[in-house]
Structure 1
């Protein structure tokens, strides 16, 4: 007997036979079970505001009953978005960038997005443009770029990405949305803390020239000493590593006039502690040391390190929220994001100036 074309009962039977055979349920199955159109299911999947609460509940109940999991391609066709975000990072092995990347990945997963990451070794404009082009070709809805070096920020600005872009730890300018921590305040508090302990001046181990956070901390250290009428020593420049901190720390350890040191990150501060210990100059009895970032090991050094805590997780979460607002059309093209606050954490590596 031939099925009546007007009677669609044959189609559900065929669908049921296919599902019984183990096929994965599809959007048509959800729509049929919920008694709605396929378009309505699509609207529920994409949180469309026009769907009535009772309809939304009926559709989600059908999804649970069938064990339906929407594919990325289904979401992409329905919304015009791939729900994939791109991340460009530089120097991703360091504690700060690695922590930011972890926060971005966690927050993206919670928001229902996948992340495609590209780690770059060089920061020239052509390399940055190629990375942006690749992520755009992969269908990224938007891109987050961790750009700690000034030339990276400039390259991103010059690239003029045709998809939403948020830049982290940079002064990119050019209308780019930027999320960064308040390095100037952090350096001011670190330097001021040592001056308040009675130290005549504060020596500084700066990060590499051209790194946004290092340059900001260096400038703020100078401004704080100048405002206090303190002597302004020549800064020493490291490369963020404990090894460079150790080598520069040996130079400072050989100078009896040095009683306070502010290092631009905790790894360099660790090297300074090592050099001072070898030189027989106890911390903080003879020399006080302050670092920056508050790495997990900082509280367990000997002595525990006074440092400026940077909330890297907050930087990652804020940047992702800002990017999703742009991707999903909830904000203007150049939102102003407040600086992520920092906190001075006082431990036993800093103390009163020796008499």
Structure 2
């Protein structure tokens, strides 16, 4: 090289450079890249910090040549704008990128067999290494049950079959948590705005609500129908206020935060104060929930943890990491109650 050529460009950091900086073995760095579930959180964080400091980015093309894999995960997702599926998809994408994988998303226009098969064919044509099926409708999973999928796959929010392939948030437990919170405050007549028919979340949250009521020796109220939207929550609130059966109801558990927002509107319009006259609990903890009027008590789902576990389980099935079995990690991610200003003891 002549002086005119200038200094050689700096060498890109490799996996052994990351290992030296983090004070771990290169095998540990590989496990972090592949989403291995057995690593301690502090070890994973130390490795990720070293990667960031060194501007280390896994070379997906090189990995594909060595492993004969595309290092791409296919995600089959129902088309829609609900917060839960959207947050799950974002969490899966983040966890996949952390593991050195790309994500190829196919949206379902419908939940019939032809649409599902067409979306799967597109993902398979792109050479994905495995599939994550993010389709919370019971009909979608029923259609997929009839298809012969030979590629490694994981289903999210499925409540049936394929134990080694299934992961979800504990929807029923979260609904019971919300209902027990109201019961513990002293409420005895608690209404429930349910989600649309045919969704796993709807059915699981109804079960949790009813179980908590019956465990406390209380009768569940007739369900109020919703469609996940604020408009449907508003209509359910109007129905509640207009019905004779609403007399004596002092609290409502809404199956998601958007419907709770519409309910708050209907209650305010109907002259009911929250929480003085009526307590309200939602589900999801959307980013705006803390800024509702009043700030909404709700159930938080740990979507980042769901995404991490989902990708780790799929990589175990692919063979890029140790297999994750139900004995190693519970298939359901726990929920937590976030208490804010929309709940209080019932009026005397």
- TM band (smaller chain): 0.7 to 0.9
Deviation at 1:77, TM superposition (A): 2.9
CA distance in 2, matches of 1:70, 1:263: 44
Residue pair 1:83, 1:113 contacting (<8 A) in 2 also = yes
Question: What SS class does the counterpart of residue 96 from structure 2 fall into?
Answer: helix
Residue pair 2:257, 2:283 contacting (<8 A) in 1 also = yes
**TM-score, normalisation: structure 1:** 0.77
User: Which whole-Å deviations, capped at 9, do the CAs of 1:106-139 have from their partners, x for residues lacking one?
Assistant: 2222222111101113112332222222211211
Match of residue 266, structure 1, among 257, 262, 267: 257
Deviation at 1:279, TM superposition (A): 0.5
The answer to whether residue 317 in structure 2 is matched with residue 326 in structure 1 is yes
Give the gaps of 5 or more residues in structure 2: 6-13, 15-26, 32-55
Q: 1:138 to 1:261 in 2, by over 3 A?
A: same
Residue pair 1:157, 1:172 contacting (<8 A) in 2 also = no
CA distance in 2, matches of 1:130, 1:291: 36
The answer to whether residue 80 in structure 2 is matched with residue 96 in structure 1 is no
- Residue 111 (structure 1) aligns with: 99
Deviation at 1:150, TM superposition (A): 1.2
The answer to whether residue 159 in structure 2 is matched with residue 159 in structure 1 is no
- Residue 128 (structure 1) aligns with: 116
Give the gaps of 5 or more residues in structure 1: 1-15, 21-29, 31-43, 49-67
User: Which whole-Å deviations, capped at 9, do the CAs of 1:269-323 have from their partners, x for residues lacking one?
Assistant: 0100000000010011111110001111111111111111111121112111111
Q: Compute the RMSD of aligned alpha carbons.
A: 2.8
| Higher alpha-carbon Rg | 1
Match of residue 214, structure 2, among 226, 230, 242: 226
The answer to whether residue 297 in structure 2 is matched with residue 309 in structure 1 is no
Deviation at 1:70, TM superposition (A): 8.2
Deviation at 1:257, TM superposition (A): 2.2
**TM-score, normalisation: structure 2:** 0.79
Question: What SS class does the counterpart of residue 128 from structure 1 fall into?
Answer: helix
- Residue 345 (structure 1) aligns with: 338
- Residue 49 (structure 2) aligns with: none
Match of residue 216, structure 1, among 204, 215, 227: 204
Question: What SS class does the counterpart of residue 180 from structure 1 fall into?
Answer: strand
Aligned residues: 300
